[in-house]
């Protein structure tokens, strides 16, 4: 698969105390690569998660949703090549078998094991291959973050990871994230599959609030194609190995620093997914201001970001701001035509419902030839604002998805 022109190099990421990564070949598809990831976590690890809002979720999502209520984790198993979604009782049996096999190898409860799968919908995950993959992963040497990023991918063209640090209660804590996602990206919660690991000590309730907030400003602000996956999962694991006093609430020492670091990490990961949007050649940032509320601005921004006409215009490097007007108008949010202003990059192209008289299109054309595009919209109604990120829509998206199962 051709590497995305927007790809970023995989960073040098440190180990996180209390986390061990292993990968194995379950051979879910006919490919010569690891496709099962097994992460073990020290006792005392807490967990939080955000999961797809799809009404047709995978059994893995349902399993994680139930396990999250307990707030503790000892392992994570990730399968690539088969999403196990829309597979009925056979899919549920596969998840139960994976959790039981992993728990047996670690001496923990199945509810301490989190499971995620990604790939083709409607094909039951083969239990024999999954169990064999878990067994194999228990016997191999530890793997790197890069190994994990490569093993969890499907149509991804480059491995994705990010890291950051914060000082919490006088201790330096590390946060590392690995993510996969390229298509079927319009999250109501998170993106395809993303996993965050930190050595900070966090109570599960605090970690959940921090992740929910970070998600709202990152994963829920990206879209590639307007389609929300059945399997979207982001999980955060905190081992406590850094030795800080556990973060209990927003008044705990270092809580603000930890939340800022988590926000930064999630934003880095979210943008990597957009950079690998199927067929993408341009990263698009859409800033909406002047809305009646932040929520309204977010909905308008997503309407623009999900418009095939806007996305193809950017792909064709055409400053067709009329398509942006269309997308604002169809969003179903308060908007007044004669207060609307639009810019491409730093150039204002429309103001108060009219094209800017005599504006020079040359800088707009130059901006659109780049690979990072900015579109600004001011509704002129209030103080609401939002930023979302998307990519252009090219022939490559059609080629990838027309041949996805072959």
Query: DSSP string covering 241-308, please?
Result: TT-PPPB-STTSTTHHHHHHHHHHHHHHHHHHHHHT-TT---EEEEEEEEESSHHHHHHHHHHHHT-H
Range 19-275 classified under CATH 3.60.70.12: yes
Q: What is the DSSP letter of 232?
A: -
Q: What value does the mean pLDDT of the chain take?
A: 93
Interval 204-248: pLDDT, tens: 999 999 999 999 999 999 988 776 667 789 999 999 999 999 999
Q: Helix 255-275 crosses helix 204-216 at what angle (to 10 degrees)?
A: 40
- Non-local (6+) Cβ contacts of 380 within 8 A are 290, 336, 339, 340, 341, 352
Domain coordinates in residue numbering, the chain: 19-275, 283-402
Active site residue 191: yes
CATH number assigned to the domain with residue range 283-402, chosen from the 4 options 3.10.20.340, 3.40.50.2300, 3.90.800.10, 3.30.450.40: 3.10.20.340
Average pLDDT over residues 305-331: 95
Q: Is the pLDDT of residue 349 over 90?
A: yes
CB 285 within 8 A of CB 193: no
Q: H-type helices in 339-386, by residue range?
A: 362-368
- Domain 19-275 identical in fold to domain 283-402: no
Q: Which of 191, 289, 347, 394 is catalytic?
A: 191
Q: What's the confidence (pLDDT) of residue 191?
A: 47
Total length of the chain: 406
Q: What is the DSSP letter of 6?
A: T
Identify the residue whose tokens are 């921004």. Answer: 301
Q: What's the confidence (pLDDT) of residue 155?
A: 84
Backbone angles phi, psi at 206, to 5 degrees: -65, -45
Identify the residue whose tokens are 């030795």. Answer: 243
Q: Is the pLDDT of residue 258 over 90?
A: yes
Structure token pair of residue 76: 């994570």
Which residues does the annotation place in the binding site for substrate? Answer: 154, 180, 191, 278, 401, 406
Q: Is the pLDDT of residue 330 over 90?
A: yes
Produce one character per residue of 282-297: b if its CB has 16 or more CB atoms within 10 Å, e if not.
bbbbbbbbbbebeebb
Which residues does the annotation place in the binding site? Answer: 154, 180, 191, 278, 401, 406
How far apart CA 136 and CA 139 sit, in angstroms, is 5
């Amino acid at each position: 698969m051709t590497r995305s022109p927007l790809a970023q190099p995989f960073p040098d990421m440190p180990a996180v105390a209390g986390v061990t990564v292993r990968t194995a070949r379950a051979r879910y598809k006919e490919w010569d690569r690891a496709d099962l990831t097994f992460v073990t976590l020290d006792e005392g690890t807490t967990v939080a998660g955000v999961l797809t809002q799809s009404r047709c979720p995978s059994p893995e999502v349902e399993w994680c949703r139930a396990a999250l209520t307990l707030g503790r984790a000892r392992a994570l198993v990730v399968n690539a090549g088969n999403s196990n979604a829309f597979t009925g009782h056979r899919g549920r049996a596969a998840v139960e078998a994976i959790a039981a096999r992993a728990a047996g190898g670690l001496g923990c409860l199945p509810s301490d094991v989190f499971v995620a799968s990604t790939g083709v919908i409607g094909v039951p995950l083969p239990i024999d291959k999954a169990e064999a993959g878990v067994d194999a992963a228990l016997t191999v040497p530890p793997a790197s973050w890069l190994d994990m990023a490569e093993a969890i991918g499907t149509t991804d063209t480059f491995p994705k990871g990010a890291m950051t640090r914060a000082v919490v209660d006088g201790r330096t804590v590390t946060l590392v994230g690995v993510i996969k996602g390229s298509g079927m990206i319009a999250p109501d919660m998170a993106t395809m599959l993303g996993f965050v690991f930190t050595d900070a000590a966090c109570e599960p309730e605090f970690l959940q609030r921090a992740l929910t907030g970070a998600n709202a400003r990152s994963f829920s602000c990206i879209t590639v194609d307007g389609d929300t996956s059945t399997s979207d999962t982001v999980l955060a694991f905190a081992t406590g190995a850094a030795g800080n006093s556990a973060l209990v609430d927003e008044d705990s020492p270092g809580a603000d620093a930890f939340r800022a670091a988590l926000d930064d990490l999630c934003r880095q990961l979210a943008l990597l997914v957009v950079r690998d949007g199927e067929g993408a050649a341009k990263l698009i940032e859409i800033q909406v201001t002047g809305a009646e509320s932040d929520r309204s601005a977010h909905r308008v921004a997503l309407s623009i970001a999900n418009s095939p006409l806007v996305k193809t215009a950017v792909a064709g490097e055409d400053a067709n701001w009329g398509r942006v007007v269309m997308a604002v108008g169809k969003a179903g949010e308060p908007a007044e035509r004669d207060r609307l202003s639009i810019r491409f990059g730093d150039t204002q192209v429309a103001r108060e419902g009219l094209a800017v008289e005599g504006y020079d299109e040359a800088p707009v054309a130059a901006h659109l030839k780049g690979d990072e595009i900015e579109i600004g919209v001011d509704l002129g109604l209030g103080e609401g604002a939002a930023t979302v990120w998307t990519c252009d829509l090219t022939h490559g998206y059609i080629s990838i998805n027309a041949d996805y199962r072959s």
